[in-house]
Chains A and B, each alone.
Chain A
Amino acid sequence: MFYLSYLRSELLRRKGRTILTMLGLALGVALVIVITSLSHGLDQAQKTALNPLSSIGTDLTVTAQEEGYGGGAFANRMLETNLASLGKAGQHFSYDTFSAGTQPSFAQSQANSVSSISGVAKIATGLTLTVTHQEGKIPKITASFRTGGQQINVSGQTKRPSAADLAKMAACLAKQEKKSSSSTKTTATTGGQSSQSGSLSGQGQDQGGPGMFGGGAAMRKCMPASMKRFQKTITTRRQTLRKQVNTPQTNIKTSTYTIGGVDTSQTDMGLITKTQVSKGRFLSKKNAREALVANSYASSHKLKVGSTLSIKKTTFRVVGLVQAPLGGQSADVYVPLKQLQTLAGQKNQINVVLVRASKSSGVGAVEKKIKSALPSAQVASNKSEADQISGSLVTASNLAKSLGLALSIIVIAMAIMLAALLTLSSVAKRVREIGTLRALGWSRRLVIRQITAESLTQGVIGGVVGVGIGIVAAAVINSFNLSLSASSKVGNSTTTGGFRGAFGATQSAAQTTTSQVALHAPLAGSIILIGFALAILGGLLAGAAGAFRAAQLRPADALRQVE
């Protein structure tokens, strides 16, 4: 075909211009692809971050407030490790303690009252605890204190005896005195004293020998009934307390992580769901000793699928890695709920109820109903959780939202303008050529077709090159493993919560969890197609501009043009 060989010759023999036009379009397309896919990636990242609850199939979470509701039996419990009880000094020890942090536990049965509320489609329960793991050698320096065995005298003022009582008592004592002719004066003195103050003393029945308080028997006998009642002796139990002194902190490591007990009866709703599994599989329903580990925790602790995890001397096998949701219900490690309840000694205890409303529009109503049914409960929704999230992700996403589109439009408009200008200048330089073609008998239509085909070809090649550059650029971005942070405040507690450090190391339970959200530039086929289409559109627009100029030329004028 002559026209094709003409086109080919034209493009090849004007390489500089052709390459410039194509590169302009290619860069435009590549930039649009990168910008679009980046903002798409940001959107995705933000979606996971800003909808922490919906990602786990939940609309609302119900937790107990710090005091009340379920009783808060485990809230803010003081934990202390008796190191000496763990073994001999110098031995290696590993010890895990569980604490509830800011979410007190309550009985599992309480969840039923939530599920019976109308508008609630489904509930799941969960238990999120903080594990304090201590490991090291048992210190040698321990001290023992023997306590107990003390006698405690209780004395109290009783009702003053009446004159009749006293007279009666005196008569009785006189009678007793006569009976025991060899009695000592001490007894009489004691008796006199007691008549004055009513002071009662005793050392326990066994120890009260007649030799010491010989008159005790007479006194007891003659005392009025109202006074006898107060006679009491208390002896504390003997016990030995061991306590480490000057605890050597250096070789004992304390680390904390959060652990979630997952209701494994459901896979689409719970503290973690099947959709968050990024590697491996979800927990089986068999209440097995299996664990899921959050990606961030796995990478910092070098855990992978198949690794084992020891929690309170129980071995769990890591069956999957998960992308933990942001927000209050996230944890580092997930195990079946029953396993955790057993380990933590909290049988049938939970601290969160996840609620799914039957209609998404009914979430607000359900939230109100739960609040009025359980006034002491805290109800959180996606929105309230999302409001707590901040960080570079949110900033970047907002930026991408406001700038991405504008930037894309500017970039592609500039690319098209460049192509159009180059085509126009090419046409201007080819005016005589166009005139010649017209003189040779080329119709206007044919000339326009030829010029448009040229710039369309540049558009197609530019598009292919641009898509290539875009794909490579997106791959480069992905290979950098860029991450953005999203922070979420857990709970709304104002207190610093549970005291977990056995060695005086206190950590705040109301903390800010920061999650690194990986930034990807996902390349959707549609983005590539759009980029390609833009390049072709650019080529066509440029060609149309050139062709319009060419079509306006009268052949005679075109020929008159001096080069």
Chain B
Amino acid sequence: MSTPLYELRGATRSFQMGNSTIKAVDDINVTIDKEELIALEGPSGSGKTTLLQLLGALDRPTSGQVFFEGRDLASLSDGELAELRLRSFGFIFQQFNLLSTLTALQNVEAGLAPLGVSAGELRERSLAMLAEVGLRDRAFHLPGQMSGGEQQRVAIARALLAEPHVVLADEPTGNLDTKSGADVIALLTDLAARHGTTIIVATHDAGLAARAPRRLTMKDGKLATDSKKTRAAAKKR
């Protein structure tokens, strides 16, 4: 059996808020295999974003371990984590998080620049990626000149450019109207399928969640339900 994509053992991330300690992620044990789409559900403040950050090596657990492709993220240096984020993870944010002073093209390029490819190749690949998200003609527009949907598509292009193993999307449709949201999800799943990328998406969108083969639900930092376990339990019965 091949190593799972992720393996979390008692992963906990707590924050000190004055005198009290809040456990945003509380003792999560889960194994995630390569899959097309994994939905992370739960009400606001249930710890979805914090869990995504742990998975994306943007944060370290206060206790417990997060293994990615068999490597304990806690044992890696800052540099190695940066390398991992660059090559293996792609992020998509609710606020799009485009760099406001850069054009759509430059924003996409920023996602691959540290890899050290030549300026020509970087430009070529970025333009091709923009074409994939249907924004080839918007390449030289600034984020401020684009609609929310367009901005999120730029962000998707940026996240996928380095051909990551995992795309971590935090409420990607949260700031979009229904139509754009649906377009973005269609695009995201389509590209993920084409590039063989696993997408872990935190969402409130029941429609989107329903399409996911695996659904994880969080409540108060704990993993409340796991569709895989539920299925397995159902099978046993």
B53 touches A9 (CB 8 A): no
A444 touches B78 (CB 8 A): yes
A441-B106 contact in complex given A3-B113, A446-B114, A555-B59, C-beta closer than 8 Å: no
Q: Which of B's residues lie within 8 Å of A, judged by CB?
A: 49-50, 53, 56, 58-59, 78-79, 82-87, 89, 91, 93, 95, 97, 99-103, 106, 109-111, 113-115, 119, 122, 142, 158, 162
Residue in A443, A559, A563 whose CB lies within 8 Å of B114: A443
A560 surroundings in chain B (CB, below 8 A):
49
User: In this complex, what residue of B is CB-closest to A551?
Assistant: B78
A441 surroundings in chain B (CB, below 8 A):
82-87, 89, 111, 114-115, 162
Given A441-B86, A555-B58, 14 other A-B residues pairs in contact with their CB atoms under 8 A: A5-B106, A9-B101, A10-B101, A436-B99, A438-B85, A439-B91, A440-B85, A440-B91, A440-B114, A443-B78, A443-B83, A554-B58, A554-B59, A555-B53
For this complex, 11 residue pairs linking A to B, each with C-beta atoms less than 8 Å apart, are A2-B106, A2-B113, A6-B110, A9-B106, A439-B85, A439-B89, A441-B84, A443-B79, A554-B58, A556-B53, A560-B49
The number of residues on chain A lying at the interface, defined by a beta carbon within 8 Å of a beta carbon of chain B, is 29
Is A1 on the interface with B (CB-CB < 8 A)? yes
A438 touches B59 (CB 8 A): no
A444 touches B113 (CB 8 A): no
Instruction: Decide if the interface of chain B is mainly helix, strand, loop or mixed.
Output: helix
Is A13 on the interface with B (CB-CB < 8 A)? yes
What's the Cα separation between A10 and B99 when bound, in Å? 9
Question: Smallest Cβ distance from B49 to chain A, in angstroms?
Answer: 8
A555 surroundings in chain B (CB, below 8 A):
53, 58-59
Residue in A437, A445, A554, A563 whose CB lies within 8 Å of B110: A437
What's the Cα separation between A360 and B78 when bound, in Å? 67
User: In this complex, what residue of A is CB-closest to B86?
Assistant: A441
Question: Smallest Cβ distance from A21 to chain B, in angstroms?
Answer: 15
User: In this complex, what residue of B is CB-closest to A10?
Assistant: B101
B158 surroundings in chain A (CB, below 8 A):
440
What's the Cα separation between A432 and B97 when bound, in Å? 8
What's the Cα separation between A6 and B78 when bound, in Å? 23
Instruction: Decide if the interface of chain A is mainly helix, strand, loop or mixed.
Output: helix
User: Among the interface residues A2, A5, A445, A563, which one has the most CB atoms of the partner chain B within 10 A?
Assistant: A2
A559 surroundings in chain B (CB, below 8 A):
53, 58, 93, 97
When A and B form their complex, what is the total count of cross-chain residue pairs whose Cβ atoms lie within 8 Å?
Answer: 92
What's the Cα separation between A442 and B85 when bound, in Å? 8
Question: Smallest Cβ distance from A407 to chain B, in angstroms?
Answer: 37
Question: Smallest Cβ distance from A80 to chain B, in angstroms?
Answer: 91
B111 touches A556 (CB 8 A): no
What's the Cα separation between A437 and B109 when bound, in Å? 11
Question: Smallest Cβ distance from A562 to chain B, in angstroms?
Answer: 9
Is A312 on the interface with B (CB-CB < 8 A)? no
B93 touches A1 (CB 8 A): no
Q: Contact mask A412-447 → B, CB, 8 Å, 1/0? A: 000000000000000000001101111111111110
A444 surroundings in chain B (CB, below 8 A):
78, 82
Is A14 on the interface with B (CB-CB < 8 A)? yes
What's the Cα separation between A435 and B162 when bound, in Å? 18
Question: Smallest Cβ distance from B136 to chain A, in angstroms?
Answer: 19
What's the Cα separation between A10 and B107 when bound, in Å? 12
A556-B91 contact in complex given A443-B82, A443-B114, A444-B82, C-beta closer than 8 Å: no
A2-B122 contact in complex given A438-B82, A559-B58, C-beta closer than 8 Å: yes
What's the Cα separation between A85 and B79 when bound, in Å? 107
User: Among the interface residues A3, A433, A439, which one has the most CB atoms of the partner chain B within 10 A?
Assistant: A439
B59 touches A6 (CB 8 A): no
B53 surroundings in chain A (CB, below 8 A):
555-556, 559
What's the Cα separation between A560 and B94 when bound, in Å? 12
A440 surroundings in chain B (CB, below 8 A):
85-86, 91, 110-111, 114, 158
What's the Cα separation between A36 and B58 when bound, in Å? 51
What's the Cα separation between A438 and B59 when bound, in Å? 11
Question: Of residues 28 to 43 in A, which have CB atoms within 8 Å of B's CB atoms?
Answer: none
Question: Smallest Cβ distance from B150 to chain A, in angstroms?
Answer: 18
User: In this complex, what residue of B is CB-closest to A12?
Assistant: B101
What's the Cα separation between A5 and B119 when bound, in Å? 11
What's the Cα separation between A6 and B83 when bound, in Å? 20
A2-B109 contact in complex given A438-B82, A559-B53, C-beta closer than 8 Å: yes
B122 surroundings in chain A (CB, below 8 A):
2
B87 touches A439 (CB 8 A): no
Question: Smallest Cβ distance from A11 to chain B, in angstroms?
Answer: 9
Question: Smallest Cβ distance from B58 to chain A, in angstroms?
Answer: 4
User: In this complex, what residue of B is CB-closest to A563?
Assistant: B95
B109 touches A433 (CB 8 A): no
What's the Cα separation between A559 and B94 when bound, in Å? 11
